[in-house]
Amino acid sequence: MTYRTGAPRPSARPPQPVRSSPHHGWRRRGLALTAAIAGLVLAGCSARARTPDTRAVAPPPPAVVVTEAIQRTVPIYEENVAQTVAVQTVDLKAQIGGTLEQVLFKQGAEVKHGQLLFVIDQRPYTAALQSAQAQLATAQANLQQALEQVQLAQAKAQLAALQATQVNAQKQVERDRYLVAQQAVAQQQLDNDTAAEQAAAANVAAQVAVVKNTALSTQTGIQQARAGVQQAQAAVTQAQLNLHYTTVQAPVDGVVGLLSVDQGNLVGANAQLATMSTVDPIVAQFHLSEVTFLGLLKRASTEAARTGASALNVPSFQLVLADGSTYPHPGTFRTLDRAVDPQTGTIIVQAVFPNPERLLRPGMYARVRAKLQDRPNTVLVPQVAIQEVQGVKTVFVVGSDNTVSVRSLTDGGPYGQFFIVLDGVRAGERVIVEGVQKVRPGIRVSPTTRPAPPLPGTNGLAVPTGGRPC
């Protein structure tokens, strides 16, 4: 059998009916929708490729925070390196030898004047005092005996008796002479009585010499007895002092340092036990140039004339501690060296500072700030606005058209949260304090103004935190 081309070819198996599934219908419609979307996207892309955008979108200006430079009258200070020293430093030493029995304080503790600190073994010194007191009692008894003058009294009594015998003998001789003239007695009687009268006179003369010698001896004995009493009293006083020296008391109010000798050790006379020093007030010692010293003294004199106080009592100094903080109590002149050092042109100055909180201790290093003058119309820029590269301080300034420019500054030193600007920025100009990393010279910015930080002394602090080093 012959078939024509294009005619259906008979099959060996009759065609089977195709069963339609709902999933097959959704799949065909999804594929069609995807193809349509892809066609639209390709058509859009080809359309944009054929019609380029002639207008580019510019980025917004960066946002920054600015603060205006201000103009104020600020104090100018000079700073000098100082070291704190105590008003009084005392070496606590043993004045006698013995065993250190008691240590009645804690090392590094604050003690009061007259407080008992050390006790040395007192027993040998108590015994020595008792012996000296016994010797004094004996000397006083000897003196009392010497003062009674018993021997002299006996000699004087014997002299009185002999003088009475002499008087009787003289009277007997006178009677015998009268009786002999009357021939009432024999001449022998007169001769015997005359001899007796002469003997009585000799005895009186001898006893007078005895009385004189006894009186002289008595006076010498009294003087020796008195000297013995004085010597015994001196021995008692020395013994009392030695007993007193067994205790060491605080000579001033202050802080006692570490022990040089531990309790229980044998110490000798003049042995170092510890060192103590006063802490309130405390002294800062430093050098001032001759010019600065004269300026400070003149300023203090002017202030003293205004307030009626002494120039040395005018608060003239501030103390900057090692951590950069400012000590809250101002200082006054304490003393000056007698002369200016001709080689350095400086003079040693001591300023005294109250130390009620016991924050300062002797030996600390700090910086003493002295006020030189009040500088009017000084431009101040916040420190956060300053950029420093290789020692050159710069600041970004935003102009009236919000365009950024960079300025180099002549720095006059810190003042609180500000820098003193001697040249480079004028008062009222806006400087960038935040967002510096987003700007460069010549671009425009979107500024937001922030008020300037408070000046020193307006936030409860009476002193500035900056200064000019010497």
The pLDDT confidence band at residue 148, using thresholds 50, 70 and 90, is confident
The pLDDT of residue 237 is 95
pLDDT at 227 over 70: yes
Nearest CA to 285 out of 216, 366, 204 is that of: 366
Residues 162, 200 contacting (CB under 8 angstroms): yes
As a whole number of angstroms, the distance between CA 243 and CA 305 comes to 55
Is the Cα dihedral 98, 101, 105, 106 positive or negative?
Answer: positive
Residues 185 and 297 occupy one common structural domain:
no
* pLDDT, tens digit (0-9, with 9 covering 90-100), for 315-358: 778 899 999 888 999 998 888 888 899 998 899 999 999 999 99
Ramachandran sector of residue 460 (left: φ over 0; alpha: ψ -120 to 50; beta: rest): left
The pLDDT of residue 54 is 45
> Which of helix, strand or coil describes residue 90?
strand
Domain residues for 303?
Answer: 81-86+280-372
φ and ψ of 421, to 5 deg:
-105, 115
Residues 380 and 442 occupy one common structural domain:
yes
The pLDDT confidence band at residue 465, using thresholds 50, 70 and 90, is very low
The pLDDT of residue 135 is 93
Q: First CA to last CA across the chain, in angstroms?
A: 128
Residues 417 and 446 occupy one common structural domain:
yes
Residue at a domain's end among 277, 297, 332: 277
Q: Is residue 129 assigned to a domain? A: yes
Residues 183 and 259 occupy one common structural domain:
no
Residue at a domain's end among 259, 277, 295: 277
Residues 236 and 205 occupy one common structural domain:
yes
Residues 351, 334 contacting (CB under 8 angstroms): yes
Strand partners, 272: 93
More confident residue, 88 or 462: 88
* pLDDT, tens digit (0-9, with 9 covering 90-100), for 160-196: 888 888 888 888 888 878 888 887 778 888 788 888 8
Q: Is residue 92 assigned to a domain? A: no
Task: Round the average pLDDT of the chain to a whole number and report it.
Answer: 82
The pLDDT of residue 311 is 65
* pLDDT, tens digit (0-9, with 9 covering 90-100), for 404-414: 999 999 888 88
Residues 418, 453 contacting (CB under 8 angstroms): yes
Q: Which two tokens stand for residue 387?
A: 């950029």
What letter represents residue 316's amino acid? S
Instruction: Please give the C-alpha separations between residue 445 and each of 63, 114, 185, 300, 435, in angstroms, as whole numbers.
Output: 6, 72, 164, 50, 10
pLDDT over 90 for what percent of the chain? 44
**Structural domain count, the chain:** 4
Residues 397 and 450 occupy one common structural domain:
yes
The pLDDT of residue 457 is 61
As a whole number of angstroms, the distance between CA 97 and CA 105 comes to 21
Q: In what order do the strands lie in the sheet with 271-277?
A: 89-94, 271-277, 254-256, 110-111
Nearest CA to 467 out of 364, 370, 333, 352 is that of: 370
* pLDDT, tens digit (0-9, with 9 covering 90-100), for 117-138: 999 999 999 999 999 999 999 9
Q: Is residue 224 assigned to a domain? A: yes
Residues 409 and 457 occupy one common structural domain:
yes
CATH at 273: 2.40.50.100
Residues 448 and 361 occupy one common structural domain:
no
Q: Is residue 29 assigned to a domain? A: no
CATH at 412: 2.40.420.20
Point out the least confidently predicted range of 218-232, 270-284, 427-441.
218-232
Q: Which two tokens stand for residue 237?
A: 């006083």
CATH at 351: 2.40.30.170
Residues 292, 468 contacting (CB under 8 angstroms): no
Instruction: Give strand ranges (E) for 10-131.
Output: 63-68, 70-86, 89-94, 98-103, 110-111, 116-120
Q: How many CA atoms lie within 13 A of 449 on its CB side?
A: 10
Q: Is residue 2 assigned to a domain? A: no
pLDDT at 217 over 80: no
CA 353 vs. chain centroid, Å, equals 8
φ and ψ of 400, to 5 deg:
-65, -25
Q: Is residue 38 assigned to a domain? A: no
As a whole number of angstroms, the distance between CA 24 and CA 34 comes to 16
* pLDDT, tens digit (0-9, with 9 covering 90-100), for 3-54: 343 444 444 444 444 444 444 444 455 444 555 454 544 444 444 445 455 4
Residues 329 and 349 occupy one common structural domain:
yes
The pLDDT confidence band at residue 113, using thresholds 50, 70 and 90, is very high
Residues 264 and 285 occupy one common structural domain:
no
The pLDDT of residue 364 is 94
Nearest CA to 352 out of 78, 44, 85, 61 is that of: 85
Point out the least confidently predicted range of 50-54, 218-222, 461-465.
461-465
Residues 137 and 185 occupy one common structural domain:
yes
Is the Cα dihedral 268, 269, 271, 273 positive or negative?
Answer: positive
Cβ atoms within 10 Å, residue 214: 21
Residues 298 and 347 occupy one common structural domain:
yes
Q: Is residue 113 assigned to a domain? A: yes
The pLDDT confidence band at residue 99, using thresholds 50, 70 and 90, is very high
Q: Is residue 396 assigned to a domain? A: yes
As a whole number of angstroms, the distance between CA 355 and CA 38 comes to 86
The pLDDT of residue 88 is 93
As a whole number of angstroms, the distance between CA 397 and CA 375 comes to 24
